[in-house]
Chains A and B, each alone.
Chain A
């Protein structure tokens, strides 16, 4: 069994990883952590680098769950998660939800929303 986690630096991502670890321990599943970026800006704070990615790895290591961290680059972060899920044959996708204002929802397409709508397997959405 495989669980795909959509990870972003920050609280929603942490919450998603925590919840995925709970699920993984319960079911003995393998974790595939996907931290994608569009790479279209000079800086993407939701893309994990340096100390942050080290912390994520050591946290996963300490949990004892079988895992893998992917950091793909593509035009749509939701697609990156969905592609990874399809590739590993995920049984569950875990995503974190950000707080969004109504205007924010209007202007920016939400990654979590696209994953919820287009995923071929159950999706677990977690709030931090």
Chain B
């Protein structure tokens, strides 16, 4: 059990004053952006990628981890106080949470969400520390064909399962793969899709793509559809819970965690389904069925825990295999690439210190969230009064700053605008953003794994399925595709029934 020792070392390096400061910063920033409309954790991490030039990797990832967990917390705050879930994962929280708030129980709703998130986050992170190294030790033994198969599974799963239109998901994915092609081919040294522009020979910097798609695309899209009427907000004091609330919350927290973590850990499980399942379960098991639909605390406690546990679960494939399955994880992976770290199954062996510090900082960030945010809830509610012109001008400003800092070339700003317009177009035409980002990041690795696999078999296509794991994974993809058609038909009507 060397892992306990590793984790202890991780805590030791995460608890230095400098790193604690970065953790606090990340948690506060993450919550703020989670609360603010139009800006989320993925965009924030993308905007902060320039810090990777001069801040050491551990500190940067400690901050990113804080933003990741904090964003989720902030998102639940707005869905409770305003009934406008920013992300699909907090839709379910809003159902009961906003009803509670309107019934004068905002403080309890926020408290059960915060404490539930803390418990789910703590358990989830512990499970992450338990599973990820084990998976990683298995994964390093995998050859290129198997690794290729797993990446293909992740790409297909993220594209097909999340989002409403599979066709549009795949369009987004292949746009991403095409962007990933730009640059010099590593094997033959020829440039691809550079159009003779030397600045493109290193490829398009992922910082520029991520910032453009998330920040510029979103800001332009919001500018086109600015909401003019203010939202109705429920005033809130300091969150707290009574004994009865605790009694009714603790089981939903644990059940929600049990739903969320496995869904997060498998590629494309996402947070939407486990939060929904948790809600349905709590509604079935509750002793107060009459309160459901009018503000039942179980309906907030369970889904919130599921949401956070799924966030922790998402880090399992990310840290053990280098597979990002949500937007924030994808941008964090881009940051790793920025540090020259090769994200993949070797992470746990080659970057052991960094990874364990990151895991330790997840525990710390989770605790900080609870300690800092319970008293700060009214402050976060005030943040919503920021005038929109400043909010979006600020987003555009920092996005340009981030892109400019990459190479100090105006050319990157031009790319930023081009991809920003692409992001705008994607939002207009209902193309999901995540497959594109993951396509850009995984595309080059998929290609290189494919070429290496076929190198081993000297060009024989059967080389792709030369390993048992690869065979199993491809079988899974086929099974999944068939299963998806069936589930897709069954799932929609039920979701509709609950949200209406």
Do A and B touch, yes or no (CB under 8 Å, in the complex)? yes
Give me the interface of A with B, judged by CB distance under 8 Å.
Answer: 37-45, 47, 49-51, 73
Report whether B230 and A41 are in contact in the complex, using a CB–CB cutoff of 8 Å. yes
**Are A50 and B102 CB-contacts (below 8 A) given A41-B384, A42-B385, A43-B82?**
yes
Q: How far is the CB of B310 from chain A (nearest CB, A)?
A: 26
Task: Pick the interface stretch among B157-165, B386-394, B476-484, B487-495.
Answer: B386-394
Count of chain B residues with a beta carbon within 8 Å of a chain A beta carbon: 19
Report whether A73 and B229 are in contact in the complex, using a CB–CB cutoff of 8 Å. yes
Which residues from chain A contact B384 at a C-beta distance below 8 Å? Answer: 41-43
Which residues from chain A contact B229 at a C-beta distance below 8 Å? Answer: 37, 39, 73
Question: Can you name 5 A-B pairs with beta carbons within 8 Å?
Answer: A38-B387, A39-B228, A41-B387, A42-B230, A47-B230
Report whether B232 and A42 are in contact in the complex, using a CB–CB cutoff of 8 Å. no
Where chain B touches its partner, the secondary structure class is: loop
Across the A-B interface, give the 7 residue pairs with the lowest CB-CB distance, nearest first.
A43-B384, A44-B230, A49-B232, A39-B228, A43-B233, A42-B384, A40-B387
Which residues from chain A contact B235 at a C-beta distance below 8 Å? Answer: 45
Known: A41-B230, A41-B384, A41-B387. 19 other contacts (CB 8 A): A37-B230, A39-B229, A39-B230, A40-B388, A41-B385, A42-B36, A42-B231, A42-B386, A42-B388, A43-B381, A43-B385, A44-B230, A44-B385, A45-B233, A45-B235, A49-B230, A50-B102, A51-B102, A73-B229
B37 interface contact, C-beta 8 A: yes
Report whether B232 and A45 are in contact in the complex, using a CB–CB cutoff of 8 Å. no
In the assembled complex, the Cα of A44 lies from the Cα of B389 at a distance in Å of: 14
Which B residues from 447 to 484 make CB contacts under 8 A with A?
Answer: none
Q: How far is the CB of A115 from chain B (nearest CB, A)?
A: 21
Report whether B387 and A50 are in contact in the complex, using a CB–CB cutoff of 8 Å. no
Residue of B37, B230, B232, B386 contacting most chain A CB atoms (<10 Å): B230
- Which residue of B has the minimal Cβ distance to A50? B232
- Which residue of B has the minimal Cβ distance to A49? B232
In the assembled complex, the Cα of A36 lies from the Cα of B138 at a distance in Å of: 63
Which residues from chain A contact B36 at a C-beta distance below 8 Å? Answer: 42
Which residues from chain A contact B230 at a C-beta distance below 8 Å? Answer: 37, 39, 41-44, 47, 49
Which residues from chain B contact A47 at a C-beta distance below 8 Å? Answer: 230
Which residues from chain A contact B381 at a C-beta distance below 8 Å? Answer: 43
